[in-house]
């Protein structure tokens, strides 16, 4: 398994180009199952999660091709998907266990083919992450749902029927799955307490461009009027706000200055506001954001994660790590997932002073210095937090199990090296 070797102490300066959003691309890929025509996605990120999703769709009978393009002066990957006729309606365990977002095939396939067998994703490092909201919503839309041998068997003999749904949690995954399913249902579906993450807006806009009738986009109440069929489309993946936020923290923690090209400040209002409150200087540009922490003395600030537009849980680990270098203390409260402090034990090994109470909150106190160490990546965002700590720790940090990072950060070490980080990837076979 590859590792990252980081020598701390360099101030980062320069420009980082923000890639397309993983959490937008994954449902967009599955939305291509809703039509027999060709769906082309531009600004696609080069990530292992995208490759995993492509393998699953090929298994379902989707023809995929890709090529490179230069869009707005930036090189990017374009993927096209066409499922003229599904070859299978089964999403097998081996695919789903590697990536839970495989469950995004459920809504589209059930709406189009009226039958799906989906391996239940099971829990993951950050929590149980059940699918009860997805499944109960589909039942309210007329599907029969059976759980057998670890699989969901979903049937809707006469197709799905529109329904008035009220989500007890503003689930991103359930909102995407039901939004896609409802586009081909008979009648109107209303989703109350829908998630409002920008990736959902990116999906809804593509579905409407395919002929769907969705209103209330970017609000907590989505109304979808079912249509007979959807047609092909060419659609651009929005920039990754979590990648942008992660590199914003890299600039702040090294007291450097980085321009995040293509980052959309409008999708990062809460994290940017809190970063500014710690003392970081932030300026929004037409095509990016400048994060300037040069000669800043940062002040500890409290954060509590929340649904969008609140502070994103996917930036909690990164922000907590930044607070290790700020003056004073910071209370970090995680409200979305039940086990999302796995970066803490590893940071403690680097000399951090953090006290976790239960599963929900951690008090972070500044320390004069962090020390490089061998650390273990556990989940995608916790792993980035360890890289951030390595960037400022005295000496060398080796982050193991880098495959976690490759799921969500395109060309991580190249992007960081381009702004002055001393970071190299040790390939598995290169191990000294």
Eight-state DSSP code of residue 157: T
Task: Please state the closest distance from residue 257 (CB atom) to ligand EPZ, in A.
Answer: 26
Instruction: Write down the catalytic residue from 76, 124, 176, 296.
Output: 124
212 within 8 A of 185, measured Cβ to Cβ: no
User: Of the two residues 134 and 415, which places its CB atom closer to ligand EPZ in the complex?
Assistant: 134
User: Of the two residues 151 and 337, which places its CB atom closer to ligand EPZ in the complex?
Assistant: 337
User: Of the two residues 254 and 305, which places its CB atom closer to ligand EPZ in the complex?
Assistant: 305
DSSP strand pairing (353-357 vs 329-333): unpaired
Task: Please state the closest distance from residue 170 (CB atom) to ligand EPZ, in A.
Answer: 7
76 is catalytic: no
Distance CA 24, CA 330 (A): 31
Tokens linked to 340: 């999302």
Task: Please state the closest distance from residue 219 (CB atom) to ligand EPZ, in A.
Answer: 17
Residues within window 213-272 making contact with ligand EPZ, judged by CB under 6 A:
none
Figure out which of the listed residues 45, 107, 162, 173 binds ligand EPZ, where binding follows CB under 6 A: 173
191 lies in the binding site for ligand EPZ (CB under 6 A): no
Distance CA 347, CA 151 (A): 38
Figure out which of the listed residues 117, 314, 334, 346 binds ligand EPZ, where binding follows CB under 6 A: 314
Contacts of 239 (CB under 8 A, 6+ apart): 18, 19, 20, 21, 43, 262, 263, 264, 267
Point out which span in 171-179, 209-217, 219-227, 288-296 binds ligand EPZ (CB under 6 A): 171-179
CA distances to 119, 120, 164, 173 from 131, rounded to whole Å, are 11, 8, 19, 9
Q: What are phi and psi of 333, to 5 degrees?
A: -115, 125
181 lies in the binding site for ligand EPZ (CB under 6 A): no
User: Of the two residues 181 and 326, which places its CB atom closer to ligand EPZ in the complex?
Assistant: 181
Any idea how long the chain is? Answer: 432
Site for ligand EPZ, rule CB under 6 A: 23, 26, 101, 127-134, 169, 171-174, 195, 313-314, 336-337, 380-381, 408
Residues labelled catalytic: 124
């Amino acid at each position: 398994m590859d590792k990252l070797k980081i020598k701390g102490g360099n101030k980062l300066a320069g420009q980082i180009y923000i890639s397309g959003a993983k959490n937008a691309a994954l449902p967009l890929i599955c939305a291509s199952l809703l039509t027999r025509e060709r769906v082309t996605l531009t600004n696609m990120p080069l990530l292992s999660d995208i490759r995993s999703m492509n393998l699953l769709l090929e298994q379902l009978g989707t023809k995929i091709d890709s090529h490179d393009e230069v869009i707005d002066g930036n090189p990017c990957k374009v993927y096209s998907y066409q499922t003229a006729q599904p070859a299978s309606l089964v999403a097998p365990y081996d695919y789903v266990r590697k990536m839970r977002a495989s469950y995004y095939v459920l809504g589209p396939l059930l709406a189009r083919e009226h039958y799906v067998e989906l391996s239940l994703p099971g829990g993951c490092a950050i929590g149980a992450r059940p699918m009860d909201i997805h499944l109960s919503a589909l039942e309210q839309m007329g599907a029969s749902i059976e759980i057998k041998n670890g699989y969901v068997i979903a049937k809707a003999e006469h197709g799905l029927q529109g329904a008035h749904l009220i989500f007890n949690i503003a689930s991103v995954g359930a909102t995407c799955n039901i939004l896609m399913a409802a586009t081909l249902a008979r009648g109107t579906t209303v989703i109350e307490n829908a998630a409002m993450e920008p990736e959902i807006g990116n999906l809804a806009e593509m579905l409407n461009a395919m002929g769907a009738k969705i209103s209330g986009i970017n609000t907590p109440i989505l109304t979808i009027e079912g249509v007979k069929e959807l047609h092909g489309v060419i659609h651009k993946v929005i920039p990754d706000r979590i990648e942008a936020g992660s590199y914003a923290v890299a600039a702040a923690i090294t007291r450097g200055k980085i321009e995040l090209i293509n980052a959309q400040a409008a999708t990062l209002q809460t994290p940017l506001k809190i970063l500014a409150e710690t003392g970081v200087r932030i300026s929004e540009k037409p095509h990016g954001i400048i994060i300037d922490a040069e000669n800043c003395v940062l002040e500890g600030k409290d954060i509590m994660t929340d649904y969008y537009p609140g502070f994103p849980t996917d930036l909690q680990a990164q922000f907590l790590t930044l607070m290790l270098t700020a003056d004073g203390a910071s209370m970090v409260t995680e409200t979305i997932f039940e086990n999302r402090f796995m970066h803490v034990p590893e940071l403690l090994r680097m000399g951090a002073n953090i006290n976790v109470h239960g599963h929900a909150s951690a008090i972070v106190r500044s320390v004069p210095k962090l020390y490089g160490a061998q650390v273990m990546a556990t989940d995608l965002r916790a792993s980035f937090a360890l890289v951030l700590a390595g960037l400022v720790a005295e000496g060398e940090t080796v982050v193991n199990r880098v495959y976690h990072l490759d799921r969500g950060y395109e060309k991580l070490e190249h992007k960081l090296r381009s702004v002055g980080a001393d970071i190299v990837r040790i390939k598995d076979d290169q191990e000294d």
